[in-house]
């Protein structure tokens, strides 16, 4: 089940990455790809953090069952191009999904994604809103295909959270490491969001 991250990223072929790049008004597909990796890591990390208690796991499981069954993955290109209209508007409401996952920290995450990818803030925010429904759709598909209840979902996301920590530890000292991965979760609590303000503060200090 650690392949949920691969399932999410596997939805985005080179052609779809080109489509995303065009839709957000960017010119460099590599920047879009780098931002996409960071967005997936941040959103999955926060979902995993929220699901580490019983109430959070239950709320996420209910949301997946109700609004994110994975059917959005049947025609990703159509969804991204606005040609496929979902019967359930909550399924494709990226802005609403981000509000639930990130809350007031959304602006800080957008700033960080822009810093590490080179995209403009507006482009990063739009990309994050486009990807959020795909991330929840992939998670909902994995839940359905594997018959996971709230507890099982929490366990799977917990393993992803542990894997993210291990990857960051293994990559320490690598100069080629993405800026986002280099600073995420400095305090080791598994919550990437509460570190964003400190990360941005340090970045802006270096620029002065």
**Domains of the chain by residue range:** 4-207
pTM: 0.80
Q: Which residues contact 197 (CB under 8 A, 6 or more apart)?
A: 108
pLDDT tens-digit profile of 45-90?
889 888 888 999 999 999 999 999 899 988 888 888 876 665 668 8
Q: What six digits make up the tokens of 84?
A: 């496929």
Reported for 184-191, long-range contacts at CB under 8 A and 24+ positions apart, including other chains, are 184/41, 184/42, 184/45, 185/45, 190/45, 190/48, 190/49, 190/52, 190/161, 190/165, 191/45, 191/46, 191/49
Q: pLDDT value at position 86?
A: 59
What is the pLDDT at residue 171? 55
**Distance between CA atoms of residues 186 and 202, nearest Å:** 12
């Amino acid at each position: 089940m650690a392949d949920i991250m691969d399932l999410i990223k596997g939805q985005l072929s080179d052609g779809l990455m080109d489509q995303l790049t065009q839709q957000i008004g960017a010119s460099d597909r590599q920047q879009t790809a780098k931002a996409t990796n960071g967005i997936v890591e941040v959103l999955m990390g926060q979902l995993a953090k929220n699901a580490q208690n019983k109430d959070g796991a239950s709320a996420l499981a209910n949301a997946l069952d109700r609004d994110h069954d994975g059917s959005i993955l049947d025609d990703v290109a159509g969804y991204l191009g606005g040609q496929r209209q979902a019967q359930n508007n909550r399924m494709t409401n990226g802005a609403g999904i981000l509000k639930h996952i990130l809350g007031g920290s959304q602006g800080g995450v957008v700033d960080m994604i822009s810093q590490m990818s080179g995209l403009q803030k507006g482009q990063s925010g739009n990309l994050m809103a486009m990807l959020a429904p795909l991330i929840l759709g992939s998670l909902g598909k994995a839940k359905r295909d594997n018959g996971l209840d709230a507890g099982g979902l929490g366990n799977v996301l917990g393993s992803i959270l542990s894997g993210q920590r291990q990857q960051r530890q293994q990559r320490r000292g690598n100069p080629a490491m993405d800026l986002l991965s280099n600073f995420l979760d400095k305090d080791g609590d598994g919550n990437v969001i509460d570190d964003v303000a400190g990360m941005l503060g340090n970045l802006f200090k270096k620029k002065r």
